[in-house]
């Protein structure tokens, strides 16, 4: 029996990826100097994973049902469906590029947000184009092959 996919979970995963990237980049890059409001905004993602995820999932389920035809919701849902790929990519590709550019350590909070937003926008674009041709993400496909 085929069950209906709850796209709100995929939407929540996409937003969780965004928060994870910001927190991880802030830890690695420093992010101690700079704008106070950006530091405050980044702190919303830190140390409150359980409570934040429950609220996030509820909001995403509501909005995904209400705005499921929206281009933005569809793009974020596709991004959430490739969560494993982007989790690995944010470390290997994202932090790898930052390290090669000597941007990985001792950066301002503004640089953390620039790097995080750049990675997340790239992830959304990648997911949108990838899902035009493939049903699952590259690492999700490997995981399914190994697990079955």
In a domain, residue 2? The reply is no
In a domain, residue 78? The reply is yes
With both helix axes pointing from N to C terminus, report the angle between 71-80 and 7-29 in degrees, rounded to the nearest 10: 70
In a domain, residue 96? The reply is yes
Q: Give per-residue pLDDT as tens, 14-53.
A: 877 887 888 888 888 887 788 888 888 887 777 766 666 6
**130 is in which domain, residue-wise?**
7-147
In a domain, residue 1? The reply is no
Looking at the structure of the chain, the number of domains it has is 1
Q: Locate all alpha helices (DSSP H) within the chain, ordered by sequence.
A: 7-29, 36-43, 49-66, 71-80, 83-89, 96-100, 109-133, 138-147
In a domain, residue 15? The reply is yes
Q: For the chain, what percent of residues have pLDDT higher than 70?
A: 92
Q: Give per-residue pLDDT as tens, 71-90.
A: 988 898 899 999 999 999 98
In a domain, residue 54? The reply is yes
Between CA 145 and CA 61 the distance in angstroms is 29
φ, ψ (nearest 5 deg) of residue 18: -60, -50
The model carries a pTM of: 0.81
């Amino acid at each position: 029996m085929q069950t209906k996919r709850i796209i709100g979970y995929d939407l929540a995963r996409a937003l969780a990826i965004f928060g994870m990237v910001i927190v991880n980049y802030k830890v690695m890059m420093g992010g101690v100097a700079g704008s106070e409001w950006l530091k405050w905004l980044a702190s919303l993602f830190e140390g409150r994973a359980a409570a934040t995820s429950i609220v996030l999932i509820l909001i995403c389920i509501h909005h995904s049902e209400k705005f499921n035809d929206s281009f933005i919701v569809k793009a974020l849902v596709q991004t959430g469906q490739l969560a494993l790929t982007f989790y690995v990519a944010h470390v290997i590709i994202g932090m790898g590029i930052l390290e090669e550019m000597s941007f990985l350590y001792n950066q301002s909070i503004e640089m953390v947000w620039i790097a995080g937003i750049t990675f997340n926008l790239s992830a959304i674009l990648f997911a949108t184009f990838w899902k035009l041709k493939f049903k699952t993400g590259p690492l999700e496909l490997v995981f399914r092959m190994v697990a079955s």
